[in-house]
């Protein structure tokens, strides 16, 4: 029994580590490679995308059927630790005491969300799945979720478009970070729907292969397979959009939390499992969400480090070597991928005044009065 557990557990840990590595490689490509180059022509991005996708597929296939949720939940939380480590190693994000404390809160919260936010369900035939799909409560729930997701993604795309055509009207330093979080959270919601289709397809596949009851002769079965492929590709696209705009140390925990909470409610509504959920599970999940969000805020609201500025350097060169873009009061990226330090406004004003009151090199007179 121990060997049956340790082998998939090792695979799960390796898959969790390689996923964090792959998504950090993608983020590094967005930061340091010219944004005008298409993604498929960037070897670094392609490598990170393949590492993340392949490890995700292998890890999910090899572990979901062999590891109980009490083991899978901590493994998923450990992946967030790998994410913080690779953010420091690959992206150069500062790893301070606040980062350690925030990451610990994220790991504990993620473990609670994943551990208590799962309700097991029995296998279903295609007729059972059709009956579940036809339930009015599921139709209403699914329609509301899809409407909310579409409106959210449309609004995010619209704001991103307006940032490009009217950059002077959209100057908040953290706006790109919030756009990235929006893409990541809605992408996680789409990913939870892909998981729902995957569970349905897996049940039909098990009935077909092991019980010799072919479920793939029905058009609806192939419709479920198509929905699975479509949502899987779409969630990968929006995860990449989020990584392009937001730090992985902030985006990945929120993506993880959104995915698990969405999976929980999708399962409760779709499989009609409200009677299987205990009140203490809801409390544990809500407490886990609070800890996770608290940890993310601790990391994202770190104060900017003091930077020694040469007196004669141009103000536009401030913080050109910053290592943690998109953190509040720290830095952000411009559209060309150049890292610019968002120093405090009074610091910039003092520097400008100091330069204006310096004597001219040729005349020895003050340049301004």
Contact 299, 329 (CB under 8 A): no
Give CA–CA dist 345/363, Å, rounded: 31
Which strand (E) or helix (H) includes residue 339? strand 339-341
Q: Which two tokens stand for residue 366?
A: 């003050």
Contacts of 168 (CB under 8 A, 6+ apart): none
| Residue 199 CB burial class (10 angstroms; 0-12, 13-18, ≥19) | buried
Q: Is the pLDDT of residue 180 over 90?
A: yes
**Tens-place pLDDT, residues 277-329:** 788 888 888 898 888 888 888 877 665 443 333 343 443 333 333 334 333 33
Give CA–CA dist 272/119, Å, rounded: 11
Contact 62, 72 (CB under 8 A): no
Question: Which is it for strands 331-333 and 339-341: parallel, antiparallel or unpaired?
Answer: antiparallel
Lowest-confidence segment of 83-97, 197-211, 280-294 by average pLDDT: 197-211
β-strand partners of 332: 340
Burial letters for 83-112: b for 16+ Cβ neighbours within 10 Å, e otherwise? bbbbbbebbebbeeeebeebbebbbbbbbb
Length of the chain counted residue by residue: 369
The domain spans of the chain are 1-67, 120-276, 304-369
Is the pTM higher than 0.85? The answer reads no
Q: What is the largest CA-CA distance in the chain?
A: 94
3-class SS at 35?
Answer: coil
Angle between helices 219-245 and 175-209 (to 10 degrees): 150
β-strand partners of 341: 331
Q: Is the pLDDT of residue 349 over 90?
A: no
| pLDDT in the model for residue 159 | 92
**Tens-place pLDDT, residues 213-268:** 787 888 888 888 898 899 989 999 999 999 999 988 889 888 888 887 887 788 77
| pLDDT in the model for residue 43 | 92
Confidence of residue 116 (pLDDT cuts 50, 70, 90): confident
Give CA–CA dist 44/39, Å, rounded: 9
**Tens-place pLDDT, residues 27-86:** 999 988 888 888 889 999 999 999 999 988 877 766 655 665 556 666 777 787 888 888
Give CA–CA dist 196/101, Å, rounded: 34
Contact 332, 325 (CB under 8 A): yes
**Tens-place pLDDT, residues 119-146:** 666 666 677 777 877 888 888 988 999 9
């Amino acid at each position: 029994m121990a060997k049956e557990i340790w082998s998939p557990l090792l695979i799960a840990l390796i898959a969790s580590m390689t996923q964090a590595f792959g998504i950090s490689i993608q983020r590094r490509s967005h930061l340091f490679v010219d944004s005008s180059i298409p993604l498929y022509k960037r070897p670094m991005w392609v490598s990170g995308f393949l590492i993340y996708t392949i490890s995700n597929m292998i890890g999910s296939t090899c572990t979901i059927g062999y590891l109980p949720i009490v083991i899978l939940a901590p493994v998923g939380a450990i992946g967030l630790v790998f994410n913080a480590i690779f953010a420091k190693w690959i992206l150069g994000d500062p790893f301070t005491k606040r980062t350690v404390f925030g990451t610990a809160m994220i790991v504990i919260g993620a473990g609670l969300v994943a551990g208590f936010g799962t309700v097991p369900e029995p296998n279903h035939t295609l007729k059972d799945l059709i009956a579940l799909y036809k339930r009015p409560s599921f139709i209403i729930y699914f329609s509301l979720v899809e409407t909310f997701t579409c409106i959210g993604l449309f609004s995010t795309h619209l704001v991103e478009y307006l940032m490009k055509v009217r950059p002077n009207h959209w100057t908040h330093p953290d706006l790109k970070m919030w756009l990235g979080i929006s893409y990541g959270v809605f992408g996680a919601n789409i990913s939870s729907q892909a998981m729902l289709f995957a569970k349905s397809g897996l049940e039909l596949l098990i009935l077909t292969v092991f019980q010799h009851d072919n479920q793939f002769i029905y058009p609806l079965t192939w419709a479920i397979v198509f929905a699975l492929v479509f949502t899987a590709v779409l969630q990968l696209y929006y995860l990449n959009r989020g990584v392009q705009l937001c730090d992985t140390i902030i985006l990945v925990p929120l993506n993880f939390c959104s995915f698990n909470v969405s999976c929980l409610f999708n399962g409760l509504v779709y499989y009609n499992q409200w009677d299987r959920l205990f009140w203490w599970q809801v409390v544990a999940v809500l407490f886990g969400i609070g800890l996770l969000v608290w940890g993310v805020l601790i990391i994202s609201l770190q104060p900017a480090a003091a930077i020694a500025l040469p007196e004669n350097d141009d103000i536009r060169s401030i913080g050109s070597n910053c290592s943690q873009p998109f953190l509040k009061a720290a830095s952000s990226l411009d559209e060309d991928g150049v890292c610019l330090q968002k120093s405090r406004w009074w610091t910039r004003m003092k520097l400008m005044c100091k330069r204006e009151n310096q004597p001219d090199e040729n005349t020895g007179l003050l340049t301004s009065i």
